[in-house]
Each structure stands twice: as structure tokens, then as C-alpha cells.
A and B are shown apart, each in its own frame.
Chain A
Amino acid sequence: EDQVTQSPEALRLQEGESSSLNCSYTVSGLRGLFWYRQDPGKGPEFLFTLYSAGEEKEKERLKATLTKKESFLHITAPKPEDSATYLCAVRTVYNQGGKLIFGQGTELSVKP
């Protein structure tokens, strides 16, 4: 069964304290790994798509990396406005046009 697991469930950081969020996946053929940000009461906001092991993408203080088993979302010198829930999702070879399978999310809180 295709599965996505994120850790930790919650992470509290001080402003400027860099860290990483983990997304482990077990799927029958990966066709894309997606990172989203979700603020309370809002829908997920697209951040990155990664397609193959070794690929990296960056946006401001965020960098996403991908291996054959997991993805990391690195947050460098976070600010309070980075506080949100970060969701990881995968698309598989059997659902290339369709559904995303999501992890449960990591709730990040950055204190000033």
C-alpha cells in the first residue's frame, strides 16, 4: 500500500534556528513528490515538486531535497511568518493524472 509519513508531527523553533522536516514514502513507482504549506483555515499552498532522486529546489528560506526513500524540507534561519503546517504528497505511476497521497503534516511554530 502506498504510504507517506511525515516527522516530526510538530516542531517548535526559535527565530533563526535552522532545522529540517522529513517526509518518508513507500510507493509503487514515484511520479512526483510535492510540498505544500497550509495556514490555519486555508487550503494548501503549492511550494515545490521534485521528480527524481538527487533533485533539489529552493525558495527563499526553504530548500527541498529528494532521495529514493524520503524528502527533506530544510528551513534556514526561519522567521515567525514561516509558521504553518507543511504537507508532503506523492503521485504514483498508477495515478499520474490524478490523486495525490498526503502525509499527515508537520506543524511548524517559529517564535521571535
Chain B
Amino acid sequence: GAGVSQTPSNKVTEKGKYVELRCDPISGHTALYWYRQSLGQGPEFLIYFQGTGAADDSGLPNDRFFAVRPEGSVSTLKIQRTERGDSAVYLCASSSGPGTTNEQFFGPGTRLTVL
């Protein structure tokens, strides 16, 4: 079956602009996660949704970052007034539920470059 998909695969923007990154989870997966990965580092947690609600947004670095999942499926990560330090690969993952035994399956990521 289809895995997690993310669009766009690459996004180049200018400092100060607004961007939206989209994630389509595996069908039927109720849990959805956003991570950010800088070059040479492991993924860093941003936010976790269970259904439509954000169950944990402790990883969002500041109020320029916001994410939604209005119908409990597709999610959008929104970044306002982008800064060069926001450049990274943004990864989305989904799992069949929040339980400990549920593995997270990752999408290919969106590479964001802020000039």
C-alpha cells in the first residue's frame, strides 16, 4: 500500500516569507508526527497529533511554527517569517496508534531552503 507522502519534495524561499508543508499519512493511521532534520543530525521532534488534536507540541521552536490536521488525516506544517536557520529537511511520520508498540513510518521529507 501507499506509504507516507510529503509535498513539495523541495521548497526554496526567501527570508521572511511564509511556507506550508503538507503530509499525507498512511491510510487509517491516527497518529501523525512532524520532525526536523539538519545535516548530519538525527531527526528532532516538533509536534504529534492524535486524530485532529495536537497531543504534544513541545518541540515547536517558537510561535512562527504552527501545524494543523483538521480532518484527522492530512496535516500541514506552517512556518511564518522564515529565517535562514529554518533550513532543514522536514519529516512526517505516521503510526496506527499512539501505543508503545506502534512503529512510526516516515515519509521522504521536504527539503526547505531559506535564502
Chain A interface residues (CB < 8 Å from chain B)? 4, 6, 31-32, 34, 36, 41-46, 49, 51, 87, 89, 91, 95-105
Contacts and interface: CB of A to CB of B under 8 A. Distances in A.
Contact of B48 (A34, A45, A89, A99): A99
B62 interface: no
Nearest to A105: B42
Contacts of B97: 97
A45 B106 contact: yes
Contacts of B105: 46
Contacts of A91: 100
B50 to A, nearest CB: 7
Interface centre among A31, A51, A95, A99 (most CB of B within 10 A): A99
Contact of B107 (A34, A43, A89, A102): A43
Given A43-B109, A46-B104, A97 B99 contact: yes
- The dominant DSSP class at the B interface is loop
Given A34-B103, A46-B103, A97 B55 contact: yes
A32 B67 CA distance: 26
Contacts of A98: 33, 45, 48, 55-56, 98
Contacts, number: 74
Given A103-B42, A104-B41, 14 more contacts: A42-B109, A43-B106, A43-B107, A46-B105, A89-B43, A91-B100, A95-B56, A97-B31, A97-B48, A97-B50, A97-B97, A97-B100, A105-B40, A105-B41
B33 A99 contact: yes
Nearest to A49: B103
B47 to A, nearest CB: 9
A32 B100 contact: yes
B21 interface: no
Contacts of B59: 99
Interface string B72-92: 000000000000000000010
Contact of A49 (B4, B98, B101): B101
Contacts of B20: none
B20 to A, nearest CB: 19
